[in-house]
Amino acid sequence: MIPMPRSYHGHGALRGLVLWVLSQSPANGAEIISTIEKMWWGLWRPSPGAVYPLLSSMAEEGVISRGPDGRYELTERGRRELEESYWVPQRKPMSVDVAIEELDGYVRYLEEVRGSGSLAGRGKRIAEIAERLRRLSEDA
């Protein structure tokens, strides 16, 4: 999940989230809502009543544009706004130590959900990742 600004239920935060989502790829309103919900792990889903008026106003401002397929994309002005925002999501950890701490957190999470059936069918992928980590540990 990406870092959130201090007041994450205001339109400023929603605007930032929309900008970030559109920086990844063009999307329509429903896709934007779904992506934000996934970013929040289902804990928060912006309402269409907030998203669609925001998309309209952002398009009027020239921050985003709507293509013939109904998908929105950032304009150059939108890219600048995202770059100048104070909470641009990090694309990678700030250091190796932070990355290791994040890995530890994910492993703890997976350990906690192990009995819930959430890992069903994912054993092979987990084993592949574990093997890669084992090789890294040998080089450390």
* Distance in Å from the first CA to the final CA of the chain: 28
22-40 exposure pattern, b = at least 16 Cβ within 10 A, e = fewer: beeebbebebbbebbeebb
pLDDT of residue 1: 42
Q: What is the SS3 assignment for 39-61?
A: HCCCCCCCCHHHHHHHHHHHHHH
- CA 35 – CA 38 distance, rounded (Å): 5
CATH top-level class of 11-84: mainly alpha
Domain boundaries, the chain: 11-84, 96-139
User: What mean pLDDT comes out for the span 14-32?
Assistant: 95
- Picking from 26-40, 99-113, 120-134, which range would have the lowest pLDDT averaged per residue? 99-113
Indicate yes or no: pTM above 0.75: no
